[in-house]
Amino acid sequence: MSLEFGDLTTQIAADGRISAEEILELRRLGWADGKMSPDEAESLFVANETCEEPTREWCDFFVEALTSFIVFQVEPRGYVDPEMAEELIARVDRDGRVCTLAELELLVRVIEVATSVPQALRDYALRQVEEAVTLGEGPTRHGELTRQGINATEVAILRRLIFGTGSERPAGVSKAEAELLFRIKDATLYEANAPEWHDLFVKGVAQFLLGFGGNEALTPERARELEQFMAREGAGIGGFLNRMVTSKPDVDGFGSLLKIGGDEPDYLADWDDEAETASLLVPEEHSWLHDMLEADEELDEMEKALIAFIDEETGETFVPRPQG
């Protein structure tokens, strides 16, 4: 670590404040040689922990610098291995929780940009949001954010974690993620929730039931297709799925679309096979949805909206089992 960089982060840690000029100087010093050292990365964590009034500029710098170090400097580059994930969790965890929003944003950003991350890191980040919502406290509950229901910040973080490149199922929603959406729905059903939450629950669960995909990274083109689906008011998943299978994979994982010649990878053929049946519920999906609907012993308005959305997408009528 350069002496100047260390002196500056020590000063920030000592007085608990950071100015825009200091952030600019950290940017200059931190990337003077094109990379950041482990000691410099550690000093940023210390400065963040002691910063009393972190600004937007500081959070942006903290996340950008450490994401670059964790994902693109530590080997294997572009990936987060189990050892790095374990170290990152241990560095931000205090009795099972992340204390600052900047640290939570760092976890989210790493999951977004890495080609793949260990399941433990995804689970840890998702648990931070779920506990903040259900317990009413945590890094997303500071400042002007409401302490009831699920707020817009939490909805946005959930969306990014679920659909990030390094998420469990980048092309869609996994079973565990769909069940998490149901748990949060049940916990916040009668609270004053962010308007965006209704849309994420309905279309997120529908993506699990009607979508398809594996562990491949999202290309920018496929990400745009997913955004279009999430923005739709009603039917359209059939066309969405058919368009998805024509996309080329982003094999380098860094957001550039490469022109690929020759035969398509095997998983593209699998997508073609799945596309014909992806817009219909199979018996296992029927059973899962029945179980989730019956868990709270009532058919609430959000569940009714989910059923209506699925009916419109499939052209079939899903009939819940009688309650009680």
Q: How do residues 249-284 score in pLDDT, each as one tens digit?
A: 332 322 222 222 333 333 223 333 444 445 678 899
Q: Residue 213 sits in which domain range? A: 149-314
pLDDT at 142: 57
- Strand, coil or helix: 194: coil
For residues 155 and 108, what is the distance between their CA atoms, to the nearest angstrom?
13
> CB neighbours (10 Å) of residue 163?
22
Is the pLDDT at 144 greater than 70, yes or no? no
* Residue 245 covered by a domain: yes
For residues 191 and 187, what is the distance between their CA atoms, to the nearest angstrom?
9
Closest to 237 in 3D by CA, of 179, 280, 175: 280
Q: Does residue 166 contact residue 111 with C-beta atoms inside 8 Å?
A: yes
The pTM assigned to this predicted structure is 0.74
**What is the number of structural domains in the chain?**
1
Q: Does residue 225 contact residue 247 with C-beta atoms inside 8 Å?
A: yes
pLDDT at 255: 27
* 232 vs 289, higher pLDDT: 289
* Residue 248 covered by a domain: yes
* Residue 85 covered by a domain: no
For residues 51 and 13, what is the distance between their CA atoms, to the nearest angstrom?
6
> What's the chain's average pLDDT?
77
pLDDT at 235: 40
Is the pLDDT at 229 greater than 80, yes or no? no
* Residue 246 covered by a domain: yes
* Residue 244 covered by a domain: yes
* Residue 69 covered by a domain: no
* Residue 287 covered by a domain: yes
Q: Side-chain half-sphere of 4: how many Cα atoms within 13 Å?
A: 10
For residues 67 and 52, what is the distance between their CA atoms, to the nearest angstrom?
22
pLDDT at 290: 94
* Residue 117 covered by a domain: no
For residues 205 and 200, what is the distance between their CA atoms, to the nearest angstrom?
8
For residues 73 and 63, what is the distance between their CA atoms, to the nearest angstrom?
14
Q: What is the pLDDT of residues 47-82, one digit of tens each?
A: 888 887 788 888 999 999 999 999 999 999 999 999
- Cα–Cα distances (Å) from 84 to 2, 71, 145, 155, in that order, read 23, 9, 31, 27
Report residue 110 as tokens: 């790493």
pLDDT at 289: 95
